[in-house]
Amino acid sequence: MQMNNRHRIKYAVLITTLMALCFLAANALAVPIGVKLTFDGKGAGAVVFDGTLHASKGLTCADCHDRQGLIPAMFEMKRNTSFISMRKIEMGMSCGNCHHVSMSDPSSCSYCHRKR
């Protein structure tokens, strides 16, 4: 069965639409409401981000992710696009914008890192 040009165009549009939907789904929000996000703490213990806990403090996603374009966002909204390090945190970037911890104070490690 041969496809005429009209069918080829419809088929191409369908395939392009499906590919776009797959791409958008892969880049969905990292932490849906009620879900915890766990980061590998590189030997120091896992770090768990709890969106519900932050929301209970009156914060919204936009407080850290969007910032309404006024100042740079601390984190991108897409999964695996923000690099978090202790150096950045100590410099007051990423998590350190609100959570002031120091590697020179070993007692502060357990505030974020949990050994399994």
List the Cα angle 38/91/86 in 5-degree steps: 35
Q: What is the pTM of this model?
A: 0.58
36-114: CATH topology is Cytochrome C3 (3.90.10)
The whole-angstrom separation of Cα 103 and Cα 95 is: 14
pLDDT tens per residue, range 16-29 = 777 666 554 444 44
Closest C-alpha among 93, 105, 111, 107 to residue 41: 111
pLDDT tens per residue, range 47-97 = 988 888 888 888 888 788 876 666 777 887 777 777 888 888 888 888 888
- Express the helix, strand and coil content of the chain in percent, nearest 5 each: 45, 10, 45
Contact 52, 59 (CB under 8 A): no
Domain range summary for the chain, segments of one domain joined by +: 36-114
